[in-house]
Amino acid sequence: MNDAPSDLRERYERLQALHTISTALNSTLDPRDLLKLVLSEAVRVTKADSGSVVLINPNTGRLDIEEAVGLGERVAEVKLRLGEGITGWVAKSGRPLRVGDVNHDPRYVAVREGVRSELAVPLEFEGQVQGVLNVDSDRPDAFSAADEELLIALAAQAARVLHNAWLIRQLRQRAAQLETLITIGRDILSPLTLDEVLQRVVREARRLMNARLSSLLLLTPDREELELRASDGAGEDYVRRPNLKVCDCLLGVVVRHKRPLTVANVQESDQYRHTELARKEGLVSLLSVPLTSGGDAIGVLSVYTAEPHRFSNDDILLLTALASLGSVAVRKAQLYEKIVDAEEQLRQNERLSALGLLAAEIAHEIRNPLTVVKMLFHSLDLQFPAGDPRARDVAIIQQKMEQMNRVLDQTLTFARRSEPRVEPADLNALLDDVLLLVRHKLAQHNIVLQWQPAAHLPAVPLDRTQIEQAALNLILNATQAMPSGGTLTIATRAEDAEVCVTVADTGVGMTPEVQQRLFDLFLTSKPAGTGLGLALVRKIIEAHRGRIEVESAPRKGTTFSLFLPTERG
Ligand code: ADP
Ligand code: MG
């Protein structure tokens, strides 16, 4: 190595430049400032006339000029493709390139007039080229091998900064995304209406995905059309657009296949029906994911960007997470509606049966005196000569009494209908039938069934449908109490004037507090429970003049015993 003073000075300057950058790296400078610093040091130390840092844009595949020195104002408009120009070649190959005379290099694309030589090195981190650092000079052969070495060292520093900055941004984004998902999750449980929650979902989708527009469409009840339920960033025309036919639109594909869909540019897509609208609203790339509920698609959540964008797997996951929250909100609203319906129906039923009872009572009260009146009237044996108007009156009185009797009969039959239709039945056979229905479900949940029918069971007067329903309710509750399997023991036995059915599980059991309110309407500990099951069971057993008993211990299991009288009352 030549140790002439000028060389020594140059080497000192290079070390100085590297040192400056390393020091800056350890301070909290913003990545932009660091790139600026790296570039200015590179230009200064290599005595270049101009220079730039370009980064590969993963969405467009083009090279965006991030920082420039000495290249004039309009340099920002230059967008080289990967492989285009000396910079593009370096970006593509990942190798440094030193060109002594650009006029003799066919790869060269002039960004500034007067450039004679150029030196470009890749910005590379862990084998991935992120961009290029390059310097130009008006003199031919302006850059030495030592310049190249320095630039490579600077580029390594810059790439590390970029990578770290990118990681930090990524982490910040993730944190923001998680926070959003959690708040929307909380919103769903709050008393916000469905529309308010869906509006939140689209707004956050648009914000988190940096999108121009986001929309949420739900299937109409006939599942043939998609109806816009919420949107953010949409113009009037978009909002007023009529429903989409599922069978012939792109979003319909998402619903039908229940899979996410991306379109690089909807304005140029053959399948996208509304290219005109897309142009008007400035929509470019589309990501669309299905909303599903119980395995069925119920709608789509979409985001459109204003610039070409390649959606990553993370983007798809995030939008899918938002869509699931939307689905949960819809499901919750539907369930709520159902519960309100069921409650209303129940009240209706209760009112009806109360009315029925009242009617029956009145009918009884009237029937008895009416029978007396009829008897007395006949015993009067009123005979009038023909032509006497009283003869007609007697006939009318008789006729009206018959009519009253018929009305009473009808009222009593009607009132009786809400009572169980009781017929002597074999309880063991009835339970056999019910168990046939649930065998598969039990096996699926790793539940061992022990069925112990009593050998000689007297026939029991019962309403078959109602008792089946009661048994099924108890068995399903037992199954739900054993989410990770267990043993379900069902037994019958005869006792004095009663028969008894026991349904015993080895499940979660209940606290004394739950036991006390067990038969209350709407008492449930399950996310999808109704709390109607046991209330119904009790109503049925009471209608049979039977009784129901419970024994339970937390984490040990629960035993329900139903007692039914063998004699009709
Ligand atoms: P639902 O099943 O819709 O919750 P139910 O009226 O059938 O309504 O049951 C009410 C509640 O009683 C259940 O949510 C549960 O907390 C409790 N329960 C009923 N059966 C059992 C059982 N076998 N083991 C543990 N808890 C039970
Ligand atoms: Mg139940």
Supply the pLDDT for residue 282.
92
Please tell me the predicted confidence (pLDDT) of residue 117: 95
Residue 129 belongs to domain with CATH number: 3.30.450.40
Among 311, 329, 347, identify where a domain stops: 329
Averaged pLDDT for residues 498-513: 96
Q: Looking at mean pLDDT, say which of 23-27, 303-307, 355-359 comes out highest.
A: 303-307
Q: What is the CATH number for 460? A: 3.30.565.10
What number does the ligand 1 atom closest to the CA of 528 have?
Answer: 3
Indicate if 319 and 364 belong to the same structural domain: no
For residues 78 and 159, membership in a common domain is answered with: yes
Rounded to an integer, the average pLDDT of 90-101 is 94
In a domain, 266, yes or no: yes
In the structure, how many helices (H) and strands (E) does the chain have? 14, 19
Q: How would residue 358 be classed by pLDDT, with cut points 50, 70 and 90?
A: low
Do residues 370 and 493 share a domain? Answer: no
Mean pLDDT of 275-302: 92
pTM of structure: 0.50
Domain membership flag for residue 446: yes
H/E segment holding residue 327: helix 313-380
Q: What is the pLDDT of residue 31?
A: 76
Using 50, 70 and 90 to split pLDDT, how confident is the model at 350? low
Q: What is the mean pLDDT of residues 372-386?
A: 86
Angular region, 244: left φ>0, alpha ψ -120 to 50, beta rest? beta
Query: Of all atoms in ligand 1, which is nearest to the CA of residue 503?
Result: 23
Q: Does the pLDDT of residue 3 top 70, yes or no? A: no
Say which ligand is closest to the CA of 479: 1
DSSP string across 413-473: HHHHTTS---EEE-HHHHHHHHHHHHHHHHHHTTEEEEEE--SS---EEE-HHHHHHHHHH
What is the best residue among 489, 534, 536 to mutate for testing ligand 1's pocket, by most ligand atoms within 8 Å of CB? 534
Judgement on whether residues 16 and 122 belong to the same structural domain of the protein: yes
- Do 112 and 221 belong together in one domain? no
What gap in Å lies between CA 498 and CA 96, rounded to an integer? 95
Tell me what the mean pLDDT of segment 380-391 comes to: 86
For a pocket test of ligand 1, which of 524, 532, 555 has the largest count of ligand atoms closer than 8 A to its C-beta? Answer: 524
- Ligand nearest to the backbone CA of 524: 1
pLDDT surpasses 90 at 450: yes
| Other Cβ atoms within 10 Å of 360 Cβ, number | 19
Q: Do 126 and 136 meet the contact criterion of CB atoms below 8 Å apart? A: no
- Identity of the residue numbered 238: Y
Nearest 5°: CA angle at 313, between 307 and 317?
A: 100
- Is residue 181, in this structure, part of any structural domain at all? no
The last residue of a domain, from among 305, 329, 353: 329
Which 3 state secondary structure label does DSSP give 70?
A: coil
Amino acid found at 453: P
**Nearest CA residue ID for atom 18, ligand 1:** 477
Among 245, 199, 237, 202, which Cα is nearest to 220's? 245
At which of 399, 415, 431 does a domain end?
415
What per-residue confidence (pLDDT) applies to 152? 92
Q: Which of 145-159, 201-215, 450-464 has the lowest mean pLDDT?
A: 145-159
Residues 236 and 252 in one domain: yes
Percent of the chain with pLDDT over 70: 92
**503 in a domain, yes or no?**
yes
More confident residue, 389 or 500: 500
Q: Which atom of ligand 1 is nearest to the CA of 531?
A: 8
- The per-residue pLDDT for range 290-317, each reduced to its tens digit, is 999 888 999 999 999 999 888 988 899 8
Whether 197 and 187 have beta carbons less than 8 Å apart is answered as: yes
217 lies in the same domain as 324: yes
Listed range (188-192, 211-215, 424-428, 538-542) with the worst mean pLDDT: 188-192
Percent helix, strand and coil across the chain, each rounded to 5?
50, 20, 30
Neighbours of ion ligand 2 (CB under 5 A): 477, 533
The answer as to whether 179 is a domain residue is no
Among 84-88, 197-201, 227-231, 364-368, the least confident range: 364-368
- Residue 343: pLDDT above 60? yes
- Determine contact, residues 521/535, Cβ cutoff 8 Å: yes
Nearest to 132 by CA among 144, 118, 122: 122
**Whole domain around residue 381: which residue ranges?**
337-415
Q: Are residues 267 and 316 part of one domain? A: yes
Instruction: State the first-to-last Cα distance of the chain, in angstroms, to the nearest integer.
Output: 118
Q: What are the helix (H) ranges across 27-144?
A: 31-45, 85-93
> Which atom of ligand 1 is the closest one to the Cα of 507?
24
Where are the alpha helices (H) located in 190-274, listed in sequence order?
Answer: 194-208, 236-240, 250-257
One domain, residues 527 and 450: yes
Q: Which atom of ligand 1 is nearest to the CA of 535?
A: 6
Using 50, 70 and 90 to split pLDDT, how confident is the model at 569?
A: low
d(CA 515, CA 524): 11
pLDDT band at 134 (very low <50, low <70, confident <90, very high): very high
- Does position 495 have pLDDT exceeding 80, yes or no? yes
The predicted pLDDT at position 6 comes to 75
Residue 187 lies in a domain: no
**365 and 465 in one domain?**
no
C-alpha 160 – ligand 1 centre gap (Å):
59
How far is residue 225's CA from residue 61's CA, in Å, rounded to a whole number?
37
Least confident of 107-116, 183-192, 397-406, 553-562: 183-192
pLDDT score for 1: 47
Asked if the structure places residue 176 within a domain, the reply is: no
C-alpha 380: how far from chain center: 80
Residue nearest atom 9 of ligand 1, based on CA coordinates: 531
Strands 447-452 and 296-304: unpaired
Q: Are residues 357 and 431 in the same domain?
A: no
The DSSP bridge partners found for residue 68 are: 52
Residue nearest (by alpha carbon) to ligand 1 atom 25: 509
Of residues 531 and 114, the one with the higher pLDDT is 114
Nearest bound ligand to the CA of residue 527:
1
Structure tokens of 286?
């589309």
CB 480 within 8 A of CB 518: no
Residues 144 and 14 in one domain: yes
Residue at 452 is within a domain: yes
Average pLDDT, the chain: 86
| 28, amino acid identity | T
Q: Total domain count for the chain?
A: 4
Q: What's residue 349's pLDDT?
A: 59
The pLDDT, as a whole number, for residue 484 is 93
Range 471-497 average pLDDT: 93
Chain segment 153-203, per-residue pLDDT in tens: 889 888 887 788 778 888 888 888 888 888 888 887 777 788 888 999 999
What residues does ligand 1 touch, defined as CB less than 6 Å away? 473, 477-478, 481, 505, 507-510, 514, 518, 523-526, 529-535, 558
Q: Evaluate whether 184 touches 325 at the Cβ level (below 8 Å).
A: yes
More confident residue, 29 or 425: 425
What is the mean pLDDT of the segment spanning 120-140?
92
Cα 124 to Cα 163: distance, rounded to the nearest angstrom: 9
